[in-house]
Amino acid sequence: MIRYALACENAHEFEGWFGASGDFDEQIAGNLVACPVCASLAVRKQIMAPAVVGARKITPEGRGPAGARAMMMEAMGRVRRHVEENFDYVGERFAAEARSIHQGDAEARGIYGEASPGQVKALVEDGVPVSPLPPAAPKKTEVN
């Protein structure tokens, strides 16, 4: 995995993870990378230093692999809560509603719901901006 520091045209900074160096360029060309703050598709790489992981362990409260995981899980939880609190849940009508909004046939608004992999692929191929919702954190009763 490759991590890039990214920024949108509105100077919002965020990170993106990609399977290979060419994946970023392919996803940018397909309008698949959007700013998580303003949804701008005008995203570019930032200058960044290479990450070098040392041999010492760092606690979840600090920086390092364990702390980075905890920070990422917290950020994903905040994104999910924001979507659930501010976007309209459209259930299994997601693909049709996203397409209607994209084509201007429905009110422009944030939505979330369910879609099959085939429906998502068709939306992406048609230029409809979609993104998976981070998974919900497991309930404490479900964790070993």
How far, in Å, CA of 92 to CA of 34, rounded? Answer: 23
Averaged pLDDT for residues 94-116:
94
Residue for token pair 């397909």: 30
Provide the 3-class DSSP secondary structure of residue 91: strand
pLDDT of 55 higher than 80: no
Residue 105 zone, left/alpha/beta (φ > 0; ψ -120 to 50; rest): alpha
Query: Given this model, what pLDDT does residue 52 score?
Result: 64
For 17-48, write each residue's pLDDT tens digit: 888 888 888 999 999 999 998 889 999 998 87
